[in-house]
Amino acid sequence: MKFHPIKTFLSICLLSLAANAQSTRDSLTQLLNQQYSQSGFVGFSVAIVNKDTLLYEHGFGHADLQRQTPYGTNTLQPIASVSKLFIGMAVMKALEQGLFTLDTPVNDLLPFKVALPNMADKPLLIKHLATHTSGITDNQDYYKKTYVYTPPVDVNNALYQQIMAKGYGATGADTTLGAFLKSYLAADGKFYSKKNFNKSAPGSRYDYSNIASDLAAYLIEMKSGLSFADYTEKYILGPLHMDHSGWFPTAPGATLYTGLKAPYPAYSSICYPDGGLITSGHELSLFLKENIAGHEGKGTLLSPASYKTMLQPAFSAAYTPKNIDPNEPNIGVFYIMKKNGIIGHSGGDGGVTSFLFFNPEKGFGMLFISNTELEGLNGVNKNLLADFQRIWSLMGQFGGKMQVEFGRVNN
């Protein structure tokens, strides 16, 4: 038998690098376990990915405290406003299919007219919805009515009573996405009010809007002939093999908790596109991986040109709307761009916290989803926010190491 010293040396090096990578993952798991045990989170899942692979994933804590169900990487739960990235992806797919352009006037596509009081001579365009510059705002008096609580509901539950006292819960009317949007945006609508809009013309002021996001999703329904849920299943979830993800619960998922670990009654929303996607940390990592690959011109869902449009800054020195958040100074097509250069979205809802961002410079991204809310009926939980920041910081430190180790093993 011939001895091949070079091949043997390379094999030893690869084994050594693989062992180092495993050691890095084990170290991160140990540190995150420590952070979990000291935190107020009931459960959470994290992942770190690059354009090629899943570098790390792990679940911590409980999906259900009463049953002591572990929270794993395949645990299903809503992801709140991280769902808007799927609206962004769907809008770009619709553009590729020729259903409309970013410069198409919204009122050219709807079976009703959006009656912006301050539209003046400037039409409301799809790009205004995508960049939160539409002039449409979330009037909480009516937006709260989009929440639907799944029967049977324990009406004596203290948290449910508090939710109802604050005006949440659908009234039984306008319980489809299109019907609610018409009642909110059309001049003769049941929920129409000047408070549903700001005082600026489209394109002139940044005003984050869930309802404007839902309107973008509804336009896809109007032009494609598919519900937004079916459209995203066909063109995003299915192709990415996000087989257990969807907009409506089909399997048991995590129980959702307040920051004080009180369980929420099960709920959904009439305006499901803006925050209702149900997925797991593992399946969401497939979406994150596709975004990083797409940014580098190697995505599979959209063309390189579409990814470039979706992920390029909409605002510039020549065009900067009023009211921009200095910590989030730019936006693509629903994709938030942070001051430090990372791209993605965060989300918060009853019993839900979610973060998904990638760093184009460093070539990797991270996600965090939890069944515990950072912000709820009583505002921001500062202790939980500090817990999250420590977890996210650890992930960032180790994500950089894993990216370097991955490069060594594969080069």
- What distance in Å separates the CA atoms of residue 91 and residue 306, rounded to the nearest whole number? 10
| Both structure tokens of 237 | 């979830």
Q: What is the pLDDT of residues 198-234, one digit of tens each?
A: 999 999 999 999 999 999 999 999 999 999 999 999 9
**What pLDDT, in 10s, does the model give residues 75-131?**
999 999 999 999 999 999 999 999 999 999 999 999 999 999 877 678 999 999 999
Render 267-296 in DSSP notation, one character per residue: EEETTGGGT--EE-HHHHHHHHHHHHHHHT
More confident residue, 152 or 308: 308
Give the three-class secondary structure for 4: coil
CB 198, CB 135: distance < 8 Å: yes
Q: Give CA angle at 56 (9, 14), nearest 5°.
A: 5
Supply the DSSP symbol for 39.
Answer: S
How far CA 393 is from CA of 71, 367, 389, 398, in Å, comes to 21, 12, 6, 9
Give the chain's mean pLDDT. 93
- pTM, two decimals, is 0.94
Q: Compute the C-alpha angle 200/203/206, nearest 5°.
A: 75
What is the C-alpha separation between 366 and 389, in angstroms, rounded?
13
Q: Which amino acid is at 116?
A: L
For the ranges 63-77, 232-246, 394-408, which has the lowest average pLDDT?
Answer: 394-408
A 10 A CB-CB count for 337 gives: 21
Q: Is the peptide bond before 152 cis (omega within 30 degrees of 0)?
A: yes
CATH superfamily of 28-409: DD-peptidase/beta-lactamase superfamily (3.40.710.10)
Residue 145 reports pLDDT greater than 60: yes
Helical H segments across 83-237, by residue range: 84-96, 126-130, 140-143, 158-165, 177-185, 210-224, 228-232
pLDDT of 4 higher than 80: no
- What confidence score (pLDDT) does residue 9 get? 45
pLDDT at 14 over 50: no
CB atoms within 10 A of CB 82: 28
* Contacting residues for 373 by C-beta, under 8 A, at least 6 apart: 256, 257, 258, 259, 348, 349, 350, 351, 352, 353, 381, 384
Spatial separation of the C-alpha atoms in residues 122 and 380, rounded to whole Å:
37
Name the strand (E) or helix (H) holding 367. Answer: strand 364-370
Which has more pLDDT, 342 or 167? 342
Question: End-to-end distance of the chain based on CA atoms, in angstroms?
Answer: 29
pLDDT at 11: 52
Q: Which pLDDT value is given to residue 51? A: 97
Q: What is the mean pLDDT of residues 265-291?
A: 97
| Statement: residue 13 has pLDDT above 60 | no
Would you call 398 exposed, middle or buried from its count of C-beta atoms within 10 A (0-12, 13-18, 19+)? buried
CA distance 58 to 43: 11
Structural tokens at position 87: 């609206």
H or E element that contains 401 = helix 382-409
